[in-house]
A and B are shown apart, each in its own frame.
Chain A
């Protein structure tokens, strides 16, 4: 059976504060990397940063859809993410 890499991205549900993302945006990115930094000044157009945790499952399965289904089920049954505060995005890629 082929092996698939299923990535689960766990991030806060919309509306949940993301203090880490806010700090990265406010205290690093919008400061342009400090005086004389390589980025050369304050970048424009960036309005938000959301942090997330990514888990990569390596799964042997008949096809990518079956691998993703299995990972989705495991994540729900084992509460790999807490649906009260987080959402999970599943994406498949073969290796």
Chain B
């Protein structure tokens, strides 16, 4: 399975993502944001970081990068697309996912482990989870508070498009939303970092809570 890991100026979780995708038996390839995504790519990941140093606002400038035309086309074709942290901010800014990510209700950078509750398992990234699972995962962001108006949040709930929620009120996010998906389910954005919670060596003893996310993606390719 060929997975494009898009690298923007300021991406800093691209290597972690590449490492984990490899560990789970996939074939990741870095793609510079000014280059296209080649045919035969089975999935796309927009990793975390600080594209363009978060200037203007997180994800705003990268959402206009040349690579985003290909990301949009692949998303429309049903190819799995995952945005993590800054990647989620970029997907939201590009209009590929609903809502916006704004400053946390406690100003400043929040970097800690938290817990999420699994919502939709109907995406290529969550099929190996069970709905309602409560899982540990780290967050690391300054602009991670999910915002959408009440009607949009309700529509997302009704359509089963909330992929992860925080187990409590972490940062003021509407509906405690940590991750959402597109109407087709193939585009997923999440603020917490699954690539930092997929191997026991970097997790609390005995755990690799986000391993199923990568197992899901691998299974989606085989399907």
Q: Is the interface of B mostly helix, strand, loop or mixed?
A: loop
Whether A79 contacts B93 by the Cβ 8 Å rule is yes
Are A85 and B102 in touch, CB under 8 angstroms?
yes
| B residues near A19, Cβ cutoff 8 Å | 103-107, 172
A46 at the interface (CB under 8 A from B): no
Q: What is the 8 Å Cβ interface bit string for chain A, positions 63-95, against chain B (1 contact, 0 not)?
A: 000000000000000111010110000000000
**B64 contacts the other chain (Cβ, under 8 Å)?**
yes
Q: B60 and A82: CB pair below 8 A?
A: yes
Question: Which residues of chain A are within 8 angstroms of B57 by Cβ–Cβ distance?
Answer: 82
Q: Does B122 contact A (CB under 8 A)?
A: no
The DSSP consensus for interface residues of chain A is loop
Docked Cα-Cα span, A79 to B102, in Å, equals 15
A23 CB, min distance to chain B CBs, angstroms:
5
Question: CB of A17 within 8 A of chain B?
Answer: yes
Categorize the interface residue count of chain A.
10 to 19
A78 near B105 (CB under 8 angstroms)? no
Give residues 18-60 of B contacting A (CB, 8 Å).
56-57, 60
Q: Is residue B147 contacting chain A, with contact meaning CB distance below 8 A?
A: yes
Q: Is the CB of A80 within 8 A of B56?
A: yes
Q: How far is the CA of A82 from the CA of B219 in the complex (A)?
A: 36
Smallest CB-CB separation from B152: which chain A residue? A84
Q: How far is the CA of A85 from the CA of B145 in the complex (A)?
A: 12
* B90: min CB distance to chain A, Å: 12
Min CB distance B51 to A, Å, is 15
Closest to B95 in A: A79
Interface residues of A in 10-53 (CB under 8 A from B): 12, 16-17, 19-20, 23
Nearest CB of A to B2, in Å: 31
Mark A residues whose CB is within 8 Å of B.
Answer: 12, 16-17, 19-20, 23, 78-80, 82, 84-85
